[in-house]
Amino acid sequence: MMVAASCVLSGCTVGPDYHGAPQVTHANAFVRAPATGVSTTHAPSQWWTTLGDPTLDALIDAALAHNADLQAAQARLRESRAQLQQQRAKELPKGTADAAALRMRKPDLSGLSQSSGTAGGRGPLQLYSAGFDASWEIDLFGGEHRATEAASAQAEAVDADLADTQVTLAAEVAQAYIGLRDQQRRLVLANRSAELEQQTLDLIQQRRAQGVGTDADVERQTTQVQTTRATLIPLDEQITESLDQLAVLTGQEPGALDSELSTPAPLPTLPASVPIDDPATMLQQRPDIRAAERRLAASNAQIGQHTADLFPKVTMLGFIGSNAADPGHLLRKSSFTWLGVPYLQWDVLDFGRTRGAIRQAEASRDEAIARYTQTVLAALQDANNALARYGHQRDSVQRLQQIEVSADRSAELMRQRYEAGASSLIDLLDTQRAQFSAQQNLVAGQAGLLKDFVSLQKGLGLGWKR
Mean pLDDT of the region 380-404 = 95
User: Closest Cα to residue 420, out of 227, 203, 223?
Assistant: 203
Cβ proximity of 276 and 39 under 8 Å: yes
Please name the residues in contact with 277: beta carbons below 8 A apart, sequence gap of 6 or more.
40, 41, 42, 43, 460
Q: pLDDT per residue over 194-218, tens digit each? A: 888 888 888 888 888 888 778 888 8
pLDDT band at 7 (very low <50, low <70, confident <90, very high): very low
Determine the average pLDDT of the residues in 46-56. 95
DSSP-derived pairing of the beta strands 120-138 and 38-39: unpaired
Confidence grade of residue 121 (pLDDT, cut at 50, 70, 90): low
pLDDT at position 361:
95
Q: How many CB atoms lie within 10 A of CB 285?
A: 19
- pLDDT score of 108: 62
Mean pLDDT across the stretch 297-304?
A: 95
* C-alpha dist (Å) from residue 316 to 94, 179, 422: 10, 66, 107
Closest Cα partner for 380 from 40, 42, 28? 28
Q: Name the 3-class secondary structure at 391.
A: helix
**C-alpha–C-alpha distance, residues 181 and 197, integer Å:** 24
Asked whether residue 178 carries a pLDDT value surpassing 90, the answer given is: yes
- Contact residues for 168 (Cβ-Cβ < 8 A; gap 6+): 458
CB 18 within 8 A of CB 224: no
First to last CA, the chain: 48
Task: Report yes or no: 147 and 305 within 8 Å, Cβ to Cβ.
Answer: yes
Phi and psi torsions of 31, nearest 5° = -75, -20
Model pLDDT, residue 106? 66
Q: Please, which residues bridge with residue 275 across strands?
A: 39
Mean pLDDT of the residues in the chain: 88
What is the rounded CA–CA span in Å between residue 166 and residue 466? Answer: 10
| Structure confidence at residue 3 (pLDDT) | 45
Distances (CA, A) of 253 to 170, 242, 248, 256: 19, 13, 6, 6
Mean pLDDT of 8-28: 82
* 328-365: pLDDT as tens digits: 877 888 888 888 888 888 888 887 899 999 999 999 99
Extract the runs of DSSP E, i.e. beta strands, from 31-93. 38-39
